[in-house]
Amino acid sequence: VPHRVHNFNAGPSTLPVSVLERIQSELLDFAGLGASVIEVSHRSQEFMRLVEETREQVRRLMNVPASHAILFCHGGGHMQFSAVPLNLLGLKPARKALYVDTGNFALRAIEDASRQGYIRTIASGRNTDYDRIPELEPGDLDPDASYLHLTTNNTAMGTRWNAWPDAGAIPLVGDMTSDILSRRVEVSRFGVIYASAQKNVGIAGVSVVIVRKDLMGHALPGTPSLLDYRQLHEDGSLTNTVPTFTLYVMKLLLEWLDDQGGLEAMEQANARKAKLLYDVLDRGAYYRAFAHRAHRSDMNITFTLPDAARLERFLAQAHENGLYALKGHSFRGGVRASIYNAMPEAGVRALAEFMTEFERRNG
């Protein structure tokens, strides 16, 4: 058995060993073709079936209603920072949109959208150092806005939204890059959901984009065809050569997720894993959780130690103990443990035990 660390990287992230082994075993011969999945046409019958099955898996696991289409789009999460305004700003003549600033990725989304239209930040977590999701004022929900954008889980901060705001007729857009398929979501509450794949749905290369069908067809002039949701929908996401390997891995991962009992079982397992770490953080004053209790993420657990010297020692000793990639995002600092779907409970237990032991020796 090859050496494997407990990998807490925020993305790309750890994959189930069974999925990696299946990739290995199938790599030379895809679907009995005698050629690898990365050597065959994306328009071959076999590959197009794979894309269709992947889409159907997403639909079933997330309970996506018929009102919404499921697209696969190049360019990861960042490309959607532009694709969303390009597709949706044209829904209303004012070409404006509302954003909530909950940390670095929300800020990047705001920056990219600002190139396409009038973008208003209606609430920001900046004043509380992004330790929580800010309150929205109902008066800020301008009915002339084309959409309201949220980052449902803030990967670097370790916070998440637990209830969606009631924005009336304004479509909600959710960047679910770091929590898609980790908890149940009522998809019909959203106009658009997007997530790049390399955290909870596999490896880098595509975003899953779920779009309410009546919001398509309003793309601004000049929108590249590869970013035009209607075009992608009409082409079954095969407008050009898709990242074939990424979609293949996504399908394996969705099958794995199904085998684990689907989304409800995954949500419970994720809550259990996160609690193992939050319980250590809450036990005393040695570690301090960044996120306010009411807004804690189950995917990214962020915290500090009493001082910089002990933080450095913690990260170095964790690494020596096979606990990999725990350094916090540069925007936040401290420690971050990313524990997406594929992180086994044993990995989280190993970290919790290391934390307890480290505190005992370095208190």
Q: Are 292 and 160 in contact (CB under 8 A)?
A: no
Least separation in angstroms between residue 194's CB and ligand PLP is 9
Smallest distance, Å, CB 123 to ligand PLP?
A: 17
CA distances from 360 to 275, 284, 350 (A): 20, 12, 16
Our CB check for ligand PLP shows the closer of 244 and 297 to be: 297
Smallest gap from Cβ 177 to ligand PLP, in A, equals: 4
Q: Which is nearer to ligand PLP, 47 or 161 (CB)?
A: 161
- Cβ 9 to ligand PLP, closest distance in Å? 10
Distance CA 7, CA 314 (A): 16
**Judged by CB, which is closer to ligand PLP: 78, or 292?**
78
Q: How far apart are CA 163 and CA 228, in angstroms?
A: 29
User: Smallest distance from the beta carbon of 160 to ligand PLP, in angstroms?
Assistant: 10
Considering the complex, what minimum distance in angstroms separates the CB of residue 41 from ligand PLP?
26
For residues 76 and 205, give the distance between their C-alpha atoms in angstroms, rounded to a whole number. Answer: 6
Phi, psi torsion values for 339, nearest 5 degrees: -125, 70
Task: Please state, in angstroms and rounded to a whole number, the distance separating the CA atoms of residues 190 and 170.
Answer: 10
Distance (Å) of CA 36 to CA 40, 81, 205: 7, 33, 18
Six-digit token string for 157 = 């901060």
Distance of CA 329 to the CA centre of its chain: 15
CB of 261 to ligand PLP, least distance (A): 26
- Taking the least distance from each CB to ligand PLP, the nearer of 77 and 191 is 77
d(CA 328, CA 279): 19
Nearer to ligand PLP, 11 or 90 (CB): 11
Nearer to ligand PLP, 151 or 223 (CB): 151
Whether 298 contacts 270, CB under 8 Å: yes
Could you tell me if 181 and 342 are in contact, meaning their C-beta atoms sit under 8 angstroms apart?
no
Residues forming contacts to ligand PLP in the complex (CB under 6 A) are 11, 76-78, 105, 151, 155, 175, 177-178, 196
State the Cα–Cα distance between residues 20 and 355, nearest whole angstrom.
29
Nearer to ligand PLP, 78 or 92 (CB): 78
